[in-house]
Amino acid sequence: MTTPDASRRADGRTPDELRPITFQRDFTTMAAGSVLVSFGQTRVLCTASVDEDVPRWMKGSGKGWVTAEYSMLPGASPERIRREVKDGKPSGRTQEIQRLIGRALRAVTDMEALGERQILLDCDVLQADGGTRTASICGAWVALHDACSRLVATGRLAANPITDACAAISVGIIDGQPRLDLPYEEDSRAEVDMNVVMTGAGGFVEVQGTAEGAPYSRAELDALLGLAEGGIATIVGMQREVVAAAPDPR
Amino acid sequence: MTTPDASRRADGRTPDELRPITFQRDFTTMAAGSVLVSFGQTRVLCTASVDEDVPRWMKGSGKGWVTAEYSMLPGASPERIRREVKDGKPSGRTQEIQRLIGRALRAVTDMEALGERQILLDCDVLQADGGTRTASICGAWVALHDACSRLVATGRLAANPITDACAAISVGIIDGQPRLDLPYEEDSRAEVDMNVVMTGAGGFVEVQGTAEGAPYSRAELDALLGLAEGGIATIVGMQREVVAAAPDPR
Amino acid sequence: MTTPDASRRADGRTPDELRPITFQRDFTTMAAGSVLVSFGQTRVLCTASVDEDVPRWMKGSGKGWVTAEYSMLPGASPERIRREVKDGKPSGRTQEIQRLIGRALRAVTDMEALGERQILLDCDVLQADGGTRTASICGAWVALHDACSRLVATGRLAANPITDACAAISVGIIDGQPRLDLPYEEDSRAEVDMNVVMTGAGGFVEVQGTAEGAPYSRAELDALLGLAEGGIATIVGMQREVVAAAPDPR
Amino acid sequence: MTTPDASRRADGRTPDELRPITFQRDFTTMAAGSVLVSFGQTRVLCTASVDEDVPRWMKGSGKGWVTAEYSMLPGASPERIRREVKDGKPSGRTQEIQRLIGRALRAVTDMEALGERQILLDCDVLQADGGTRTASICGAWVALHDACSRLVATGRLAANPITDACAAISVGIIDGQPRLDLPYEEDSRAEVDMNVVMTGAGGFVEVQGTAEGAPYSRAELDALLGLAEGGIATIVGMQREVVAAAPDPR
Amino acid sequence: MTTPDASRRADGRTPDELRPITFQRDFTTMAAGSVLVSFGQTRVLCTASVDEDVPRWMKGSGKGWVTAEYSMLPGASPERIRREVKDGKPSGRTQEIQRLIGRALRAVTDMEALGERQILLDCDVLQADGGTRTASICGAWVALHDACSRLVATGRLAANPITDACAAISVGIIDGQPRLDLPYEEDSRAEVDMNVVMTGAGGFVEVQGTAEGAPYSRAELDALLGLAEGGIATIVGMQREVVAAAPDPR
Amino acid sequence: MTTPDASRRADGRTPDELRPITFQRDFTTMAAGSVLVSFGQTRVLCTASVDEDVPRWMKGSGKGWVTAEYSMLPGASPERIRREVKDGKPSGRTQEIQRLIGRALRAVTDMEALGERQILLDCDVLQADGGTRTASICGAWVALHDACSRLVATGRLAANPITDACAAISVGIIDGQPRLDLPYEEDSRAEVDMNVVMTGAGGFVEVQGTAEGAPYSRAELDALLGLAEGGIATIVGMQREVVAAAPDPR
């Protein structure tokens, strides 16, 4: 699957190659789940907090909820990122990402099995080098799974309500070439930019593809989906390996 | 293209049939372009305003800009919609739609030909019955085209900078069946919900597909894209017919 | 009542002549009442929404409430109007108008007969050419009346709680001459600007007269009130004609 | 001017009698003008600040501007008044009052004589017992006049640009009787509530009359205007007496 | 305790001398306690309002609460102070002061004796010449004591829950010399600025010392604390004299 | 320095013993300086960003500025911390801390040597176990020093403008005993809580001591200052060791 040097990317990867990925479990120890996920230079701290005091509209439903918040630390990029605290609301981009992460995780959670409690995933980007929203989904899934495992371990849940793995990756067309897992340098000049979220079983949860320059053809769309399917299968394997062992008791 | 009764939708349409679509040009007469677009009961007033006083970051660039704002009138639905004015910012949903409309229109605008001016498209939903964002794109394109035509007619532009038509439609899977142009009744219970934006030439500008319930397969994704391609081709034909004659001088 | 040409206004009207007025009933069909009212080029969409879930302070009182919100669509005037959504609150002008419309309609509503429910009138200006607040009152009264008629028709109310008609008009002194129903061109250069709200029975609900330039005399004040009384009597006749027939069932 | 006991008001006044009025000049000494005005228990601290750095839109016009801000101290009434600071904007009522005060004072200021500077009047209600907006206008006029006198005294202005006195008073119908200068007890149960602003020369600057209960007749309106004219003439006499002597140098 | 002329301060005081201090009781008469406190030119109106409707978290606790709000009137200083109302929140400085005043007063209040009610102290600076936060504490203590005395007088409290006096003063190092009670002229150029809050019994409630220029030594810190102890003892004597006689009934 | 078991704290430390402290340099690599500082379980990521585009009021002054922002990640504590982004402004506590950090660092920066540029320190608490503001100061000083060293290394500065070390620590009285470096368990029940900021040369920059329960005596205040002086001397030694070697080039 290697390609000739000419098509090597700036960081030496082949078009269908992921960056080095790590999941550092329990990076912090106060939240119910905590994972520092890295995709190359992109690093996101994902923590899961369990809230037994569910919102009013959920009471009596017998069902739980999973939601997410996302933020970038100001020092996460070479050009400092302004905090959103003075704006009174997360930016549209932030809200869009938060909703994407929440939808992705809810797609693999059995809300009745979770029961009347809410799990909130916080994804705080410590360092940003492209793909922060997809890395957030990958890391948050592990943090969510760990938080649920601890609910099982302490007898608050009978079984883990997470029904399948869930991972995400960015793909795009750069210099006319479809590529997997874009770092900032590629993302910022991509002609087409697509984020794909899939389950461990290979179903699509979300496909969002945007032409940044010229519109793209059906054939290009198909090529990008193929790259994403391959990358996500690899990530799902890593996620499953991480959660194979139970997390430390807390 | 008709199908047996069994598969008829609640409003009598076949799965691949659009709702009745109309473009009422110059519904109001003060903005540079004004179109009341209807997709069945969904009605959106799209107006285009030309701003010769461009933002500072655009000055000296020689290029123009096209952007959009979107809002729903409180009386647009049976259950009154709260105004967002007290929130200090449009909601995340509103911002997401605004950005989508803006990106769609910019994809078919030659910014250098437009010159250092900004055209702002306001899409105000008078009545909402599903598909308001895609109807907004379709109507706003006509309002934008008319505003540019008037800039040409008054000698402020040498030629119309709109390079191609641009239209959008929603598709989705309801009761296991892929369908085109969802009204609210279908949209609210769709298993998969997808918005597609394409150019007159058939290129994709945007594909956004979300699993509301179970994840969807690659085959389902392909079926939905096919439906969208057909619907958009029809709409583009109608748009071209509307703008074939020059708008009234203003 | 015609006057010599010399005193004709820019649009050909005599000083005591109203602009062409129309009430387009059920312009939209989702709200309980919906009227598109026109005073010349000024066009306002007035919708009435019934809220059975009254605010806490109203519960147990046995009384209802009528309130209003007002907004201008950005494309309503040649110079685009900025949306107020980013300000966190309606502007002072908007709030002043909202309160005026609410007070006017409440003056002719029997709150005990209405019972513990709230009717909210939304007045959205589609096109602005002066007199938008007075046109809003005139149109909102019809929408309110229709909403109540439908509550009667569906058995939720025993009788219509609207006790009298209510209409409003602007008057002012332009070029030293008292005039009725000012379009934008006159309003913007009026020496004195006055809005008058009256009931069908001829009582005053509100008189607001402001000297924009030099102060005005008691005699001028009297002349303006006389013009307003005449104009409002005409509008009330039109309103009564519109609501003489019951609205379509919904 | 006394009337039989039967018609005496709760505080012993006749219907056409003002409350005791005082103007305490230079109550504070840091602002260019400072007046503590009292209408009975109502006490408002009015200060005038001169801003030589005018807003951009005023630059090069050769003209000045006069504007006002209004606020109530929390302890000004028996039931503590919530500060508006957390709301992000003055309330609609506050803005309406601020604009009223500003318009009143601008009606008697020669903006060209004032030159390119802005005078800002702050009206802070220390104690509220009805009529705070009209008391503010009366006190602010003196503070404005003093600030201008000091600009003359220090040679920054050739002559005082205030062209006439300006005063205001509330009138209303209580228990069917037209009355002058309403304290809170009367204001809160008035059937009609009217604020009138006039110049020293007897011209109307503003008339705002609202039916709180039943609509009012033309005859009632005339009676209220008559009361206001009398009261304002008295107040103007007091204002002129206060500013007859030049303020202390600062 | 006098010093040679050379060390006299600009206003003629010795380094350890307080400015003239007055407490004007019941300056306004609507709040439960009202004190106009002056430290030289600094004048703060402190009012105490009793709220029997405590916040939810306090209900059933059997305990009360004391809190404070602080604000400067715009005309309080030669350069007009912008109102914070447009900011949506008090500034950080304002909040810091509000919390300081609240903590100081709570340190001398027996919350169980106060019972389930809240007393809110409003400190509005009418004129600012340095030391507004410490003057606020001194004045608010008297207003709080008076409000409690009136609760006792009307039988709502068995005994006054204020357990001790509480006063505050600023000290600082100016031109290398430790000084007591800084006016604005000294405060603005102090090398070290310290606010000290103490009880009548001589205990420290708060010490906040900041180096504005060079860091300060332990010896300097000790000298400042000594000055503050002396000044506060004098103020406490004045406070006790004011509240020795019961306030007028209300 | 060990003491008998009876006086051991919950974590086994003696009253005058610091928690284990580490400075992890360049924990992230995109900001000009980046330090992950730990005081026991408390971990703060401090990054320094250089902004060459100074605020307008600084232009032409020839001087620089140092400022700080502080925030806690939601998952930093067992009970999730609400993000402040929806409040429109940092909380009063956050602002107070931000200003404290900024003042501390500015006390040891030669602004003329820094030149017309701004360095912004972001202190984001990854895990909170008491003393987050003092840990922030200690870590931010190292990040600031590194950022300046890199400005020197790349020739943008002639010499490092940091004039001295700067460190901070919390002290307090718990169970009647003065203690150094309080973890959350002690901080939350301290009778007196004090934060002290000092320079490497032993001068005080800030002393903030608050009685949470009963007021404290002068002797107790002296004991707390002594503990702080000892702890800060140790921390300064560690800071100096970290910056003794130049940071890696970036």
pLDDT digits (tens, 9 = 90+) for A114-132: 999 999 999 999 999 999 9
Pull the structure tokens for residue C249.
């069932």
Q: Helices marked H in chain D — which ranges?
A: 92-106, 111-114, 132-153, 184-187, 218-244
Q: What is the pLDDT of residues B235-245, one digit of tens each?
A: 999 999 999 99
Task: Note whether C66 and C169 are within 8 A (CB).
Answer: no
CA–CA min distance F91, chain A (Å):
10
Closest residue in chain F to residue E201, using alpha carbons only: F215
Judge whether residue D141 has pLDDT over 50. Answer: yes
From residue E217, how far is each of B47, B173, D65, E223, F166 by CA, in Å?
69, 75, 52, 10, 15
Contact: A49, F74; criterion CB under 8 Å = yes
Query: Are C28 and B83 a contacting pair at CB < 8 A?
Result: no
Who's near E73: CB < 8 A, 6+ residues apart? D45, D47, D122, D124, E81, E124, E125, E126
Whether C51 and B80 lie within 8 Å, measured CB to CB: yes
A95 and B96 within 8 Å at the Cβ level: the answer is: yes
Give D90's contacts in chain E (Cβ within 8 Å). Answer: 85-86
Percentage of residues in chain B with pLDDT exceeding 70?
96
- Residue D108, SS3 per DSSP: coil
Asked whether the predicted pLDDT for residue D47 surpasses 70, the reply is yes
Query: What local confidence, expressed as pLDDT, does residue A7 receive?
Result: 65
Q: Which residues of F touch A80 (CB under 8 A)?
A: 31, 49, 51, 120, 122
CA–CA dist B207, F84 (Å, integer): 34
Nearest by CB to C45, which of B49, B73, B120? B73
| Residue of chain E with shortest Cα separation from F194 | E207
Residue E109: CB atoms within 10 Å: 23
The verdict on whether residue F131 carries a ligand-binding annotation is yes
**Phi and psi angles of residue D21, each rounded to the nearest 5 degrees, phi first:** -120, 130
Domains, chain E, ordered by start: 21-78+91-244 (3.30.230.70)
Backbone angles phi, psi at D238, to 5 degrees: -70, -40
Tell me whether residue F172 is annotated as binding. Answer: no
Beta carbon pairs, B and C, within 8 Å: 106
Residue B1 scores a pLDDT above 60: no
In angstroms, what separates the C-alpha of C121 from chain B's closest C-alpha? Answer: 9
Rg (CA), chain B: 18
Contact A207 B204 (CB under 8 A): no
The Cα C63–Cα E9 span in angstroms is 68
The C-alpha atoms of residue D183 and residue D206 are separated, in whole angstroms, by: 20
pLDDT at A4 over 50: no
Q: Does B211 sit within 8 Å of A205, measured CB to CB?
A: yes
Asked whether the beta carbons of D197 and D204 are under 8 A apart, the reply is yes
Per-residue pLDDT, A5? 53
Our CA-based measurement puts residue C86 at a distance from the nearest CA of chain B, in whole angstroms, of 5
Residue B76 with chain C: CB contacts under 8 Å? 28, 30
Angstrom distances, CA of residue C49 to CA of B78, B157, C46, C61, C146: 8, 45, 10, 21, 11
Average pLDDT, chain E: 93
Which residue bears the tokens 């990521």? F45
Q: Which of the other chains make 3 or more beta carbon contacts under 8 angstroms with chain C?
A: B, D
Between CA D241 and CA D235 the distance in angstroms is 10
Residues of C with Cβ-Cβ distance to B87 under 8 angstroms: 85, 88
CA–CA separation, C16 vs B243, rounded Å? 42
DSSP of F15-79: TT-PPPEEEEETSSSSSSEEEEEEETTEEEEEEEEEESS--GGGTTS---EEEEEEEE-GGGSSS
- Rounded to whole angstroms, how far apart are CA atoms C73 and C91? 14
Burial class of residue A121 in the structure, from the number of CB atoms within 10 Å of its CB (0-12 exposed, 13-18 middle, 19+ buried): buried
**Tokens 């509307």 sit at which residue?**
B242
Cβ-proximal residues to F74 (8 Å cutoff; 6+ apart), any chain: A47, A49, A69, A120, A122, A124, F80, F81, F82, F83
Q: Give residue ranges of B with CB < 8 Å to any A CB.
A: 87-92, 95-96, 98-99, 103, 107, 198-199, 201, 203-211, 214-218, 221, 225
Distances (CA, A) of B55 to B61, B102, B108, B162, B220: 11, 16, 21, 21, 44
The residue with tokens 């709409």 is B235
Query: Is it the case that residue B89 has pLDDT exceeding 80?
Result: no
Residue of E nearest to D68 (CA): E74
Residue B87 reports pLDDT greater than 90: no
For residue D26 the two structure tokens come to 């230079």
Mean pLDDT of chain B: 93
Interface of E with D (CB under 8 A): 28-31, 34, 41, 43, 45, 47-49, 51, 69, 71, 73-78, 80, 83-90, 120, 122, 124, 126-128
Nearest chain A CA: its distance from F47 CA (Å): 6
Asked if this assembly's ipTM is beyond 0.95, the reply is no
CA quadruple F124, F129, F130, F134: dihedral sign: negative
Chain F positions with Cβ closer than 8 Å to A: 28-31, 34, 41, 43, 45, 47-49, 51, 69, 71, 73-78, 80, 83-90, 120, 122, 124, 126-128
pLDDT reported for residue C4: 46
State pLDDT tens for residues A51-88.
Answer: 988 778 778 888 999 999 999 999 999 999 998 876 76
Measured distance CA(A62)–CA(A47) in Å, rounded? 25
Q: Which residues from F are below 8 Å from E225, CB to CB? A: 218, 221
F200 to chain A, closest Cα gap in Å = 27
CA distance F126 to chain A (A): 7
Residues of chain C with C-beta less than 8 angstroms from the C-beta of B78: 30-31
Which pLDDT band, with edges at 50, 70 and 90, does A212 fall under?
A: confident
Interface residues of chain C, partner chain B, Cβ below 8 Å: 28-31, 34, 41, 43, 45, 47-49, 51, 69, 71, 73-78, 80, 83-90, 120, 122, 124, 126-128
Q: What pLDDT is recorded for position E5?
A: 52
Encode pLDDT of C80-100 as tens digits: 998 887 676 788 889 899 999
pTM over 0.80: yes
- Sheet (strand E33-39) strand order: E21-25, E33-39, E42-51, E118-127, E65-72
- Beta strand segments in chain D, E: 21-25, 33-39, 42-51, 65-72, 118-127, 166-174, 177-180, 192-199, 204-211
Q: Which residues of E19-44 are buried (b: 16+ CB within 10 A; e: fewer)?
A: bebebebebbebbbbbbbbbbbbbbb
The pLDDT of E138-155, averaged and rounded, is 97
CB-based contact A50:A151 (threshold 8 Å): yes
Separation in Å, CA of B209 to nearest CA in chain A: 5
Cβ separation F205–E225 shorter than 8 A: no
pLDDT at A92: 81
pLDDT bin (cut points 50, 70, 90) of residue A214 is: confident
pLDDT the model gives residue C2? 44
Which chain F residue has the Cα nearest residue A83? Answer: F85
Q: Average pLDDT over chain D, rounded to whole?
A: 93
Q: Which residues of E are annotated as a binding site for phosphate?
A: 93, 131-133
For residue D232, the distance in angstroms to the closest alpha carbon of chain C comes to: 14
Residues F206, E207: C-beta atoms closer than 8 Å? no
pLDDT tens digits for D185-217? 999 999 999 999 999 999 999 999 999 878 999
Cβ pair F192, F171 in contact under 8 A = no
pLDDT at E219 over 60: yes
Alpha-carbon distance of F108 to B46, in angstroms, equals 58
| d(CA A83, nearest CA chain F) in Å | 8
Question: C166-174 and C177-180 as β-strands: parallel, antiparallel, unpaired?
Answer: antiparallel
One digit per residue, the tens of pLDDT, for chain F of length 250 reads 444 455 689 999 999 999 999 999 999 999 999 999 999 999 999 999 999 887 787 788 899 999 999 999 999 999 999 988 767 678 888 989 999 999 999 999 999 999 999 999 999 999 999 999 999 999 999 999 999 999 999 999 999 999 999 999 999 999 999 999 999 999 999 999 999 999 999 999 999 999 987 899 999 999 999 999 999 999 999 999 999 999 998 7
Please count the helices (runs of H) and the strands (runs of E) in chain A.
Answer: 5, 9
Using CB atoms, pick whichever of D30, D51, D87 lies closest to residue E75.
D30
Q: Considering only alpha carbons, which residue of chain A is nearest residue B210? A: A206
Q: What is the pLDDT of residue D4?
A: 46
**Mean pLDDT of the E91-120 span:** 94
Q: Is the pLDDT of residue C202 over 90?
A: yes
* Amino acid in the structure at residue E42: T
Which residue in the set B78, B84, B86 is minimally distant from C30, CB to CB?
Answer: B78
Q: Chain C residues with CB-CB distance to D under 8 A?
A: 87-92, 95-96, 98-99, 103, 107, 198-199, 201, 203-211, 214-218, 221, 225
At A207, give phi and psi (nearest 5°): -130, 120
Q: Which long-range contacts (CB under 8 A, 24 or more apart) does A158-162 make?
A: A158/A113, A159/A113, A161/A64, A161/A109, A161/A110, A161/A111, A161/A113, A161/A114, A162/A108, A162/A109, A162/A110
- Reading phi first (left if > 0) and then psi (alpha if -120 to 50, else beta), residue D220 is in alpha
Instruction: Work out whether strand D65-72 and strand D118-127 pair parallel, antiparallel, or are unpaired.
Output: parallel
Nearest-by-Cβ selection for F85 from A34, A41, A85: A85
What is residue B209's three-state secondary structure? Answer: strand
Burial of D197 (C-beta count, 10 Å sphere; 0-12/13-18/19+): buried
Interchain contact, B45 vs C78, CB within 8 Å: no
Residue with tokens 């405060």: E187
- Nearest CB among D75, D83, D90 relative to E31 is that of D75
